Each structure stands twice: as structure tokens, then as C-alpha cells.
Amino acid sequence: MSLHDPDESPSLDEIESHAAVAVHFWLDEAIEALDEKFGTGYAEKHAPAVAGFMSACAIYYQAERMVDAADSIRRGLAGIEGAIRGRSSTGGPEE
């Protein structure tokens, strides 16, 4: 799915660009969340905590993509089912 047209596949450049923006966003969020929870400077001194936050974000993102893919498959199968049900046993349209 393109970032501009949902019916168009994204280019590799679009995917890479979106990934870079997402990583920067989640890194900023990780630092902000950890510092807010444990005190200013915590994230800078505890890189494993930042890495764990980033890993959790990646897992969540992957889960969302899997749900999107499953939904796309479901819609495709529903379209095939509709096409099959719209035809008689002779292959022509039902009356």
C-alpha cells in the first residue's frame, strides 16, 4: 500500500523513508517516556532500557502489519467468494 494511494504498492524508497521516520519518532518517544517515568537523564544512562522500548515498538508495528495483511487476504477471499457465488454451475451468471 502506497503512502499516497492505498491501492498502489509502496516503492522501496517509500518503505525506507517511512521506516526511518518511524524509528526516529519511537526513539524520541522512548527517551521521553523513560525520562518521565524514572527521571531526567535516565534514558541516556540506560541504553538497554531504550533498546527494550524500541524492540517492543517493533513487535507492535509488526503485529499491526500482520493484522493489515490478514485483513487484505480476508477481503480478497470475500471477493473470490462473491465471484464464485455470482456464477451458476455452468460458469455463467445466475438468473
Model pLDDT for residues 14-28, shown as the tens digit of each residue:
888 888 899 999 999
Phi/psi for 20 (5° steps) reads -65, -45
Rounded Cα–Cα distance for residues 57 and 4 (Å): 24
What global pTM score does this model have? 0.63
Half-sphere exposure of 49 (CA within 13 A, CB side): 15
Model pLDDT for residues 43-86, shown as the tens digit of each residue:
999 999 999 999 999 999 899 989 999 999 999 999 999 999 88
CA distances from 91 to 60, 79, 80, 82, 86 (A): 44, 17, 14, 13, 9
